Amino acid sequence: MHKKRISRIILCLAILGLIGYISWRYYQTPRSVATTEKKEQQPAEIRHIIQINEIEEIASYVTPGPETLVIFDLDNTVIWPEEPEARDEWFAGQLSAYKKVGLTPDEAIKRFLPTHLKAHATSKIYNVDKDTPWLFTFLKENNVRVIALTARSIAFIGITKKQLKKADIKFSPGKNGWNEYYEIDGLKKPIFYTNGIIFAGGNPKGPTLELFLQKLAFKPKELIFVDDSRQHVESVAETAKKIGIEKYFCFWFTKMDTSGADKPISLQPAPTIA
d(C-alpha 163, C-alpha 90), whole Å: 18
Domain identity same for 55 and 29 = no
Domain identity same for 77 and 206 = yes
48-58 per-position pLDDT tens digit = 899 999 999 99
Residue 260 included in any domain? no
Q: Which residue segment(s) compose the domain that 6 sits in?
A: 2-41
Instruction: Count structural domains, the chain.
Output: 2
Which contacts qualify for 108-111: CB closer than 8 Å, 24 or more apart?
A: 110/270, 110/271, 111/267, 111/268, 111/269, 111/270, 111/271
Residue 178 included in any domain? yes
Domain identity same for 181 and 124 = yes
Which pLDDT does position 103 carry in this prediction? Answer: 93
When pLDDT is cut at 50, 70 and 90, the band that residue 26 belongs to is: very low
When pLDDT is cut at 50, 70 and 90, the band that residue 257 belongs to is: confident
CA distances from 103 to 96, 108, 111, 263, 268 (A): 10, 6, 10, 18, 13
Residue 261 included in any domain? no
Domain identity same for 221 and 206 = yes
Domain identity same for 73 and 15 = no
d(C-alpha 259, C-alpha 182), whole Å: 34
Point out the least confidently predicted range of 5-14, 50-59, 142-151, 170-179. 5-14
Residue 18 included in any domain? yes
Does position 11 have pLDDT exceeding 70, yes or no? no
In this structure, what CATH number is given to the domain that contains residue 80? 3.40.50.1000
